[in-house]
Amino acid sequence: MLKLTNARQLRTLLVQINRKYSSKTDTAHYKVVVAGGGAGGCAVAARAVRALGQGNVAVIEPAKTHYYQPLWTLVGAGIKKVEQTARPMKDVLPKNCDHLAEKVAEFDPDRNTVTLGNGKKISYDYLVVALGIQIDLNKVEGLVDALNNDPLVGSIYLPDMASKTFTAMQNFKGGNAVFTFPNTPIKCAGAPQKIMYLADEFWRKHGVRDKAEINYFTSLGKMFGVDKYAATLREIVKRKDIHVNFRTSLKAVDHRKKTVTIEYLDSETGEEQTHKYDFLHVAPPMSAPDQLKNAPSKFVDSAGFLDVNQLNMQHSNYENVFGLGDCTNIPTAKTAAAVGAQNKILFNSLQSVMAGTSPNGQYDGYTACPLVTSYNKCVMAEFDFSCMPLETFPVNQAKERRSMYFFKKNVFPEIYWNLLVKGHWGGNKVFRKVLHLGMSK
């Protein structure tokens, strides 16, 4: 009897394999395909697998390692090791999904297919796009060479360079320290100044700060997009004696001459200036992934970001396509906190469409940016679509606090690994209401 049961199971399995991998079409088919194995991709895939079962969900992701990127700021300051932010991709993806360890090469939403880097086509009933944002190092002339060859140039936006950033901080003995913020979309928009504040404190502790000048070149017109927190940051840069250069952008780096070329964005004559550097931290330009920029025009907006409804994450033109996170044109800051709120709303929308009804999700734009200002303090910025504070705790979160640093360093990573990527975290809205006695949004 046992042998017969196993034989039946084997025949059933062979039928399923044959259905998915037809020799005529060389196309595998899934109920749900998730493009991207970052925070959003893992969270939605975990929810989908629990709802649909094994064999119905595939995640397309070539990376072998999954990183908790919000900690790279602390890696750059020597507080954490990059290894502490990393786990094998196979251990983070839901166990019962199919992992397609290839890059996405092409989207064809009119035919409900995705082509992989190896040429194989994957068809789907529903598609979730969660590809993240693309780092464009080559958009700054000389930046790649500088990162590879100058020991005093770093960037916390890449795992190996985050570690290098701390080494560069240790080796800096004085002179002009330059920090930049790009004139492009960016993930974790607070990170370029967070590492600057940590460097300032590190150099003060080691007797270097009085020999240094810190210059912050930012494309923005103010310190932060939310006025409440921007006011605090203005006082911090004043206290730390940091020179802020608004509406500027890094154009080129010459590591042999130890210079940066800065473009002045509001100049009618295209003014540029060259500045010497003795330490350089670069937040590189970023953009939509190339696979999206090369996709059909109805699939993306003019900048190449996936075109979705900002309230329910459903695609604007394809009802069976959904997207979340950094690769979309949802008008909120690109953070893991935003994905934490978006993933549950997206999955509810997906289930509604599967059931033949319209999505009714109401994402309010919630996002968060823990602005680390020292080795033990943090400003916990939380806000919505309109850049109005949407705070969890019943205290003034624009104030630097040790408690908020504890959440950033210790609590949020646990939420990420144990709840978010496993599809058990839908944001902190419930906690916010409880802590505000039901009087919060």
Rounded-to-integer distance, Cα 212 and Cα 207, Å: 10
From the list 97, 188, 327, 387, the catalytic residue is 188
The CA dihedral of 45, 51, 53, 59, to the nearest 10 degrees, is -10
For CA atoms 29, 32, 38, 43, the dihedral sign is: negative
Closest CA to 261 of 253, 370, 121: 253
Rounded-to-integer distance, Cα 266 and Cα 284, Å: 20
Closest CA to 362 of 317, 426, 298, 438: 426
CB atoms within 10 A of CB 421: 28
In sequence order, what are the residues at sequence separation of 6 or more whose Cβ sits closer than 8 angstroms to the Cβ of residue 207? none
Rounded-to-integer distance, Cα 219 and Cα 207, Å: 31
Burial class (CB in 10 A: 0-12, 13-18, 19+), 123: middle
Closest CA to 48 of 436, 269, 346, 325: 346
The CA dihedral of 102, 107, 110, 111, to the nearest 10 degrees, is -20
Count helices and strands in the chain by DSSP H and E runs:
13, 21
DSSP 315: B
327 noted as active-site residue: no
- The strand pairing partners of 107, in sequence order, are 114
Rounded-to-integer distance, Cα 120 and Cα 152, Å: 43
Rounded-to-integer distance, Cα 86 and Cα 159, Å: 9
Which amino acid makes up residue 434? V
42 noted as active-site residue: no
DSSP 25: T
Write out the E strands in 130-247.
134-135, 153-154, 175-181, 212-218, 242-245
From the list 42, 369, 378, 387, the catalytic residue is 369
* Residue 70: alpha-carbon gap to chain centroid: 8
Position of tokens 């902190």? Answer: 428
Contact 196, 204 (CB under 8 A): no
The catalytic residues are 188, 369
